[in-house]
Each structure stands twice: as C-alpha cells, then as structure tokens.
C-alpha cells in the first residue's frame, strides 16, 4: 500500500455519508494535519464534483484533491457530450477507476454520495486499494474507528433528513472527541432533488460528549 511521502499532508479525518428516502447527508470534520502539526483547522473535506454529487476526502490531501479535480472535469465533459447529468454511479465509477489504476501511488479513501434522476439517492465508498461498495451509510478516516459501533447501533434505514443530519453531527462530534487527528468544525451537506443544503457546526456548538 502507498505511504505518505516526506512533507506530504494527511487529512487525518472523520468523514461519513448517510442515505435517506429522497437524498443523502454527508459530514466531515475540518482538521488537516501533518504529523502532530495541524496545518489547517477549517478545511472543507466535502468537495462538489457535480450539481448534486459530492465526495468526502480522506488520506493525502494532495492526492484526493487531484483525483476530485480530474473527476469533476470528466463529469463536466460527460454532461456536454451526453446532454444529461451524470448519475452518482458514474461519478463513483470514475473515482474507483482512477484509485484502482493508481493504487500503488495514491493514498485516497473517498466517499461519493448524491442524488440523480435514475437511481435517486445513493452512497458509494472507495477505500484504499480502489474497490467500490454501494452502502446505505458509510464511514472513513482515522476517526471512523471510534464510532463504528455507535453508528451500527443507531442507524435506521427509515430516518428523515433532519434525523440523518443529527445522526451525522453526533457521530462526527464523537469521533472528534476521541481522535486526535480529527477536529475543528463539522461541515454537513444534505443533497436532495431540490439541491444542496450546507451547514457548519462551530466548535462551541458541537454536541457535548463525555470525556471522562
């Protein structure tokens, strides 16, 4: 598996996406770290690649930004050539192909989620190595290991948009409280047929967790 190169910046992150009837909710912390040094405390790890398709990025900041830029270009080209919006599956397949073809050189764990007219809401995970998995919800990043049990216990497939937003906020805040590489604010994006709704939860408004 690839390793970070000397001086390369790691996201050291918590990212997640949850599907509900009619849309998806994505969430992430905002800390970008280089070893023990926090290089950016308010980075945006929710990246728009098309009108209703976003990705969450973990791993090398440089690698994931470059891959997202390439996918964004190809999706714009797809729209121009076909005269229609790409599906989330098309976007996820592009991410997967790039990550798999360059698996020895990239450190990129990516979640792709959004809404399209063909499949509705969908969530895909592309972990290190370039495999692809369609899931009702997924987590990634260093902080995800602290909250898998919490999310497995509380996730319900019949949650509303507001319930999903609160689920994401609570989950990411739990990861922030335990993972030294996750921190800052929580950024949330709710994507439906009507568009994208963005939220930022600042540090003083994060859900409070027991810290012992």
Positions marked catalytic: 13
* Strand order across the beta sheet in which 186-192 lies: 137-140, 15-20, 23-28, 186-192, 195-201
Tokens of 36: 């023990």
3-state secondary structure of 54: strand
d(CA 175, CA 179): 6
Q: If you write DSSP's letter for every residue of 96-151 in order, what string do you get?
A: HHHHHHTTTT--EEEEEEEEETTTEEEEEEE-TTS--EE-SEEEESGGGGGTHHHH
Provide CB contacts within 8 A for 77, sequence distance 6+: none
Q: Are 84 and 114 in contact (CB under 8 A)?
A: no
Q: Are 91 and 50 in contact (CB under 8 A)?
A: yes
d(CA 174, CA 178): 7
């Amino acid at each position: 598996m690839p390793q970070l190169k000397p001086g390369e910046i790691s996201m050291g992150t918590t990212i997640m996406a949850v599907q509900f009837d009619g849309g998806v909710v994505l969430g992430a912390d905002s800390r970008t770290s280089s070893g023990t040094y926090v290089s950016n405390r308010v980075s945006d790890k929710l990246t728009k690649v098309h009108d209703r398709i976003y990705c969450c990025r973990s791993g090398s900041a440089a690698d994931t930004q470059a891959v997202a830029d390439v996918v964004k270009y190809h999706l714009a080209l797809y729209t121009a050539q076909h005269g229609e919006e790409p599906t989330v599956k098309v976007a996820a397949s592009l991410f997967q192909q790039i990550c798999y073809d360059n698996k020895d050189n990239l450190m990129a764990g990516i979640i792709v989620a959004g809404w399209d007219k063909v499949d509705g809401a969908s969530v895909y995970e592309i972990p290190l190595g370039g495999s692809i998995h369609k899931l009702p919800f997924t987590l990634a990043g260093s902080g995800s290991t602290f909250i898998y049990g919490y999310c497995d216990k509380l996730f319900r497939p019949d949650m509303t948009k507001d319930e999903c937003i609160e689920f994401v906020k609570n989950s990411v805040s739990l990861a922030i409280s335990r993972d030294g590489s996750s921190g800052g604010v929580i950024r949330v994006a709710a994507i439906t047929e009507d568009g994208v709704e963005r939220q930022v939860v600042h540090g003083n408004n994060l859900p409070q967790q027991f810290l012992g």
